[in-house]
Structure 1
Amino acid sequence: MAKQKTDGHTPLRQLRIPDDEWEAFGQLVGDRNRTQAVREFIRWRLRWPASKQPERAPEQIGGPGISSKSQEESA
């Protein structure tokens, strides 16, 4: 796949992530912080210097068989 020109910015990458996972991830880290969180995970996974393991949510956010609607109903 050819990389798109981005005028000096990081090239765009495509990821396939199910909508329910992407929405729950946005609830957790903020809709505008998802890219940064993914970058931090990649750097940690590569064991780059000064990278830290990403923190996990203290409780489950969504998941198989769990929707944000069912979580609201059980609260």
Structure 2
Amino acid sequence: MSMSYKSRRRWSIFLLLVGLPLYVLVAWAIMGALPRLPILIELLIYAFLGVAWALPFKNVFKGVGKADPDETAETE
């Protein structure tokens, strides 16, 4: 069952305002617990972590920036 535009929009705002900062804190804690790695490996890990958080939520963010397709067009 697909989500409506309004529910996708609400979930995307929640994920960006609450989920992403929590994810950053968890990623930061994990990277802080690891021993110091070479800079290029750290860069690759941070790049992967920066993209990996959004992959499970691809369908939530899809089309959120566009006009509401469920809303009927008003004619004058």
Report the TM-score when normalising by structure 2: 0.28
If each structure's helix is expressed as a fraction of its own residues, which one has the higher value? 2
**Comparing both chains, which one has the higher relative contact order based on Cα–Cα distances under 8 Å and sequence gaps of 6 or more?**
2
